[in-house]
Amino acid sequence: MYEKKVQEVESLISHQNEWRRKCINLIASENVMSRRARSQAGSDFAHRYAEGHPGERYYRGTNFVDTIESNLKGDLKMLFECNHCEVRPISGTNANEAVFSRLINYNDVVMVNSTPGGGHISHHRQGSVGKFTKNIIDFPLTKDGYHIDVEKTKDLIHRVKPKLIVLGKSLFLFPEPIADLVEICRENNIIMLYDAAHVLGLIAGKKFQDPLREGAHLITASTHKTFFGSQRGLILSNLEDSFWRKIDRGAFPGSSSNHHLDTLAQLAICTYEMMEFGSQYAEAVIANAKALAEALDQLGFDVAAKEFGYTESHQIAVNVKKFNGGEKTSITLELNDIILNMNMLPHEALSTFNNPEGIRIGVQEMTRFGMGKEEMRRIAELIKECIVDKKKVKEEVNRFRSSFQEVKYSFDKPNIKSKTG
């Protein structure tokens, strides 16, 4: 009986692998690891524990992972030009939890990006911040909805005196106004946290913004969106050692015990690929996002933020209300093997979350499979044929995707880098 259950799981895994090789994946929070990184899954590290820091473990038998972890932390500090790096969180939300648990006291005021304005669930009442305070206030936005209104935010800060402000989003098209808010945060002893979950790879590639240089106190992030690593989390900072020790204790024992050593080892490989190819990759990702946005716009889609050049990141937001909203549009595309998610847009009420007007598109994974601007234009045509012309395009999607199977920007051989045309 249970042997059949095992076979069923194995079959489902096989079907998933085969299906996704045929799909155009535009989920903005996903990416792929190289063959070389994936091949290290399931090592002996998958069975082991390593509580504490390298050289200070509560468990014996950690010599090899101690070396990997120590080297990784040193190289991440070099990559992001920071003094402190925490690699033990096992997700971006876990990294946020580690920080929030040490910085937010009951009834402290915290300012965040709203859910319609792109803020992540871990920043809100139903997520991590909400475990520690209910005094959560949204940043005022400019009329377009994709930028923080700096002057209104400064006025609000003077009035509500937040303990912490959280920049960064899930719907994240443009850099945040860090430098504009540094002085008022300094004057009021406000901690500025920048959640870089979506844009960590673009920051690593020096193509988006540099939060620590611009004045943020802390960066939290996940490592598997534009940073094409295994699924884990990071915390980065240049704060003084005494403050950092609080964050360190938030990671362990605060929000994690063992920290999944097999994916840590994979992250090391992915980090060195990012250090080698990150600049090229980030440049190609942003160029592809702009190309896809422009092509969709030219084909009649209501692409957000056109007046600002659509995007400066890996993401595009599109209003598909005239096509019955984000839920139906995303389902129709999935049936044709184009995978993306429905998404609230800044002008919407929270009550629309089950069927928002928008969809969110990310190009980072298809960029890593070697697609360039020409392919982005073809993707736009396929989306138009599917949604506007109501054609079945699954076979054409599968045929098109079959030419892009090898991961680029990696140490896989022989396909080191990608076309960008």
pLDDT in tens, the chain (421 residues): 799 999 999 999 999 999 999 999 999 999 999 999 999 999 999 999 999 999 999 899 999 999 999 999 999 999 999 999 999 999 999 999 999 999 999 999 999 999 989 998 888 878 889 889 999 999 999 999 999 999 999 999 999 999 999 999 999 999 999 999 999 999 999 999 999 999 999 999 999 999 999 999 999 999 999 999 999 999 999 999 999 999 999 998 888 888 999 999 999 999 999 999 999 999 999 999 999 999 999 999 999 999 999 999 999 999 999 999 999 999 999 999 999 999 999 999 877 778 899 999 999 999 999 999 999 999 999 999 999 999 999 999 999 999 999 999 999 986 555 444 3
CA 109, CA 164: separation in Å to the nearest integer? Answer: 7
85, 92, 164, 238, 270 from 218: Cα distances, Å? 10, 13, 11, 8, 22
298, part of any domain: no
The confidence score (pLDDT) of residue 420 equals 42
The answer to whether residues 300 and 384 touch, using CB atoms and an 8 Å cutoff, is yes
CA 374, CA 326: separation in Å to the nearest integer? Answer: 26
Q: What is the CATH number of the domain that holds 88?
A: 3.40.640.10
Q: What is the dihedral of CA 197, 199, 204, 206, to 10 degrees?
A: -160
394, part of any domain: no
| Structure tokens, 350 | 């929270």
CB neighbours of residue 38 within 10 Å: 16
How many domains does the chain divide into? 1
* Residue-number span of the structural domain to which 244 is assigned: 38-270
The confidence score (pLDDT) of residue 1 equals 79
CA 74, CA 191: separation in Å to the nearest integer? Answer: 25
59, part of any domain: yes
Which residues have CB under 8 Å from 257's CB, separation 6+? 49, 51
263, part of any domain: yes
230, 408, 409 from 295: Cα distances, Å? 31, 24, 25
Q: Closest Cα to residue 203, out of 183, 185, 223?
A: 223
319, part of any domain: no
The confidence score (pLDDT) of residue 415 equals 54
The confidence score (pLDDT) of residue 93 equals 94
CA 23, CA 18: separation in Å to the nearest integer? Answer: 9
Give the total residue count for the chain: 421
376, part of any domain: no
148, part of any domain: yes
Identify the burial level of 3 via C-beta atoms within 10 angstroms of its C-beta, where 0-12 means exposed, 13-18 middle and 19 or more buried: exposed
243, part of any domain: yes
The answer to whether residues 384 and 301 touch, using CB atoms and an 8 Å cutoff, is yes
- DSSP H helices, 34-172, are 35-38, 63-80, 92-103, 150-160
The confidence score (pLDDT) of residue 166 equals 97
CA 6, CA 371: separation in Å to the nearest integer? Answer: 36
Query: 319 in helix, strand or coil?
Result: strand
